[in-house]
Amino acid sequence: MAKKQGSAMSLEAFVSTMAPLIDMEKEAEISMSLSTGASRNIETAQKKGTTILNLKCVDVQTGLMGKSLVEFQSNKGDVLPAHKFGNHDVVVLKLNKSDLGSSPLAQGVVYRLKDSSITVVFDEIPEEGLNTSLRLEKLANEVTYRRMKDTLVQLSKGVLRGPASDLVPVLFGERQPSVSKKDVKSFTPFNKNLDQSQKDAITKALSSKDVFLLHGPPGTGKTTTVVEIVLQEVKRGSKILACAASNIAVDNIVERLVPHKVKLVRVGHPARLLPQVLDSALDAQVLKGDNSGLANDIRKEMKALNGKLLKAKDKNTRREIQKELRTLGKEERKR
């Protein structure tokens, strides 16, 4: 489609419009997250569901590619109070009686939620505090906002190289999308059950050099079509980066690609991935390297140390165990 006057926003206008809106959205989320912070009323924070008080550590395990899984329950063993925590939320661990603005013992990601327990993934277990009463606070996740702002900065500087150098002018209506002159109508589908509309979409996608929009109602086979496009591009020798608005959407694509034995890597925090795609995760593939046997021995040793850490009462003993765990963790990552 040819560009019409006023039909497309310029890159400069887009950046200047979006930057303050992203800042406003970020500040609103942070303000909501810290709405009880000014009064330092921890009980109010729990009533709002952003904090879970009176927790105890009941289990520590090494899993998810070397990361530490720490399970928390209520001090009384009761069902957890009503809260707004969800899987994949970023949380901080603090001493139960510390101020809302106090420094956290550690930061992690919610991995599993049950009625009476919550399991959090930490890169490293905190050195102190696991034997005392604890609380978890839900954080406003700033990573998404930072990435969006970084992208806007890069756009404002101008994209001079890489795939985006050709794509950006098309997206902002400065250039019409180009189409390959090669005939791709004779492609052999991997999926023999594709209908004609899917085959037509795949043909057009393979012919498009810059951008192709696949649109349709739920349940019409869009993901199936996308998977076929990926397989065809891999067959061509292309390197594909598959992105989506949610982790579950990417995992669905991974699940459908795995049976085709294509070489793929699922990038992302293991705690945010479906269990059935963990073998495709970057961390998992690293652990399958030449030294995987030694890495398994290290993980067994770390598991034993985690058990000792949970029972240790003496501060110096806990510190020594933590030191050894950090050393083993670094060694495992090398393997």
Domain ranges of the chain: 33-138
User: Which amino acid belongs to residue 76?
Assistant: K
* pLDDT for the residue 292: 62
Nearest residue to 325 (alpha-carbon basis) of 131, 122, 124, 108: 124
* pLDDT for the residue 1: 41
What is the average pLDDT across 191-216? 93
Name the pLDDT band for 331 (thresholds 50, 70, 90): low
101 pLDDT higher than 70? yes
202 pLDDT higher than 90? yes
Task: State the distance between the two ends of the chain, measured CA to CA, in whole angstroms.
Answer: 53
**E strand or H helix at 39:** none
Round to whole Å and give the CA distance between 125 and 72. Answer: 13
Name the pLDDT band for 334 (thresholds 50, 70, 90): low
267 pLDDT higher than 60? yes
pTM: 0.65
Name the pLDDT band for 181 (thresholds 50, 70, 90): confident
Name the pLDDT band for 33 (thresholds 50, 70, 90): low
Name the pLDDT band for 305 (thresholds 50, 70, 90): confident
- What fold, for 33-138? Elongation Factor Tu (Ef-tu); domain 3 (2.40.30)
Q: How does the average pLDDT of the chain come out, rounded? A: 84
* pLDDT for the residue 38: 45
State the DSSP code for 153.
H
